[in-house]
Amino acid sequence: MKYLLLLSFSFLFLQSNAQNSESSNEPDSIKKTVLATYYNRKFEGRRTTSGAKYRAKKFTAAHRSLPFGTKVTVTNPDNGKSVVVKVNDRGPFVKRLAIDLSESAAKQIGIYRKGIARVKLSYTVE
């Protein structure tokens, strides 16, 4: 009887640990408020760090540390507009700025022609 009880507790303990380790494998969602800017038109057609050509009409972005291909939701807190961009370049190289958006992405959320704007970033780290 003691062994059956011990075996039951061991099984329950191992099962709960397995569930906890499964949930820890889920990606973490990151949310930050940062300063953003956008690419100048002179970069149209130039190669990005990832090797892709910059196209102002695509929803892309540059970030200093996120892996290429990471999809980032960028939201303008002033008007609530959001856009999903794909990281394909490195930058911006001004420390206070966190992300450079393509021209279309900046227009979509209403920060085009502002120069620098406060935005909210949301992305998943795997």
CATH number (domain holding residue 84) = 2.40.40.10
pLDDT at 102 over 50: yes
The alpha carbon of residue 61 and the mean position of all alpha carbons in its chain are separated, in whole angstroms, by 10
Structural domain for 45, as ranges: 27-125
User: Tokens 């940062």, residue?
Assistant: 34
Kindly indicate the confidence band of residue 26, based on its pLDDT and cuts at 50, 70 and 90.
low
Q: How many independent structural domains does the chain possess?
A: 1
21 in a structural domain: no
Number of Cβ within 10 Å of residue 34's Cβ equals: 15
112 in a structural domain: yes
6 in a structural domain: no
What is the pLDDT averaged over residues 54-61?
A: 98
* Selection from 121, 108, 104 nearest residue 36 by Cα: 121
Q: Distance between CA atoms of 126 and 116, rounded to whole angstroms?
A: 29
